[in-house]
Amino acid sequence: MLRRSKMPSPLGLTATNVTHVFGGKEPVVALQDFSLDVAPGEFVAIVGPSGCGKTTLLHTFAGLVEPTDGDVRVGGERLTAPRRDIAMMFQAPTLLPWKTVLGNCLLPRELAHRVDDADRDRALELLAWAGIGGFADRRPHELSGGMQQRVAICRALMGDPSVLLLDEPFGALDAMTREQMNVDLRRMWADSGVTTVLITHDIAEAVYLAERVVVLSGRPGRTLDVVDVPLPHARDLSVIETPEFAKACARIRAYFAREDSHVGV
């Protein structure tokens, strides 16, 4: 299990009446009146059709986009710019090809200050925890896609975040790798206790990973439902066989019955 000593306390995240309109000749309302309270240490997944504003929403949670209306608070403080303790992981692993796995992991520390031995120890600990401890000196191209995603997760956690934001992190992976990554991610979340918000198109992935699933409408994204996932805290893949899992998936899937919604399992 990962040491928790270096992890700051997880912080809650609150979005209140968030609306975002992208300006231009033809303004696009990406999000409308979105509100959500994520408790400290909670894992929330957000699903919704393509183009409904999920990435925009996550960017407002990261302080990368200032909403046109409403506000986002982290630990009660209004978010006006990116913060070091909010980590974001993108769909592509976005590793620097010329740096080793260890070097990529250390990047947040490098940007913050000079890297010291404690940082190196921490990165190696994270890599071992993610099951890629033997690859610290390799370059990204020597790793599989799933292993690269693990490095990206380690790099995100390297900043000891209070909040972890994941935008379809496993979208590009094959089904089997993805399943294993989900098991690992759930375990990593349980170990680190970091407040986590995951965007995904995959309903089963959302239900397997999260404590609650927010269902968004087509653009502009509005909340259609918030589904509590009644599964145990410690989850292995056997939960997928349970009636509770099937019921939660069916409830969410019913919102996306139209063939062109691009939300699937």
Ligand X SMILES: Nc1ncnc2c1ncn2[C@@H]1O[C@H](COP(=O)(O)OP(=O)(O)OP(=O)(O)O)[C@@H](O)[C@H]1O
Residues near Mg ion (CB under 5 A) are 54-55
User: Residue 90 binds which one of ligand X, Mg ion, none, with CB within 5 to 8 A depending on kind?
Assistant: none
DSSP the chain: ----TTSPPP--EEEEEEEEEE-SSS-EEEEEEEEEEEPTT-EEEEE--TTSSHHHHHHHHHTSS--SEEEEEETTEEP-S--TTEEEE-SS----TTS-HHHHHTHHHHHHS---HHHHHHHHHHHHHTT-GGGTTS-GGGS-HHHHHHHHHHHHHHT--SEEEEESTTTTS-HHHHHHHHHHHHHHHHHH--EEEEEESBHHHHHHH-SEEEEEPSSSB-EEEEEE----SS--GGGGGSHHHHHHHHHHHGGG-SGGG--B-
User: Residue 51 binds which one of Mg ion, ligand X, none, with CB within 5 to 8 A depending on kind?
Assistant: ligand X
Residue with smaller CB distance to Mg ion, 89 or 143: 89
Min dist CB 209 to ligand X, Å, is 17
Residue with smaller CB distance to ligand X, 16 or 261: 261
User: Residue 180 binds which one of Mg ion, ligand X, none, with CB within 5 to 8 A depending on kind?
Assistant: none
Residue with smaller CB distance to ligand X, 67 or 140: 67
Residue with smaller CB distance to Mg ion, 65 or 126: 65
Min dist CB 97 to Mg ion, Å, is 24
Min dist CB 149 to ligand X, Å, is 17
Min dist CB 229 to ligand X, Å, is 21
Residue with smaller CB distance to ligand X, 102 or 263: 263
Contact set with ligand X (CB under 6 A) = 22, 28, 30, 48, 50-56, 219
Min dist CB 169 to ligand X, Å, is 12
User: Residue 7 binds which one of ligand X, Mg ion, none, with CB within 5 to 8 A depending on kind?
Assistant: none
Strand 77-78 to 86-89 pairing: unpaired
User: Residue 50 binds which one of ligand X, Mg ion, none, with CB within 5 to 8 A depending on kind?
Assistant: ligand X
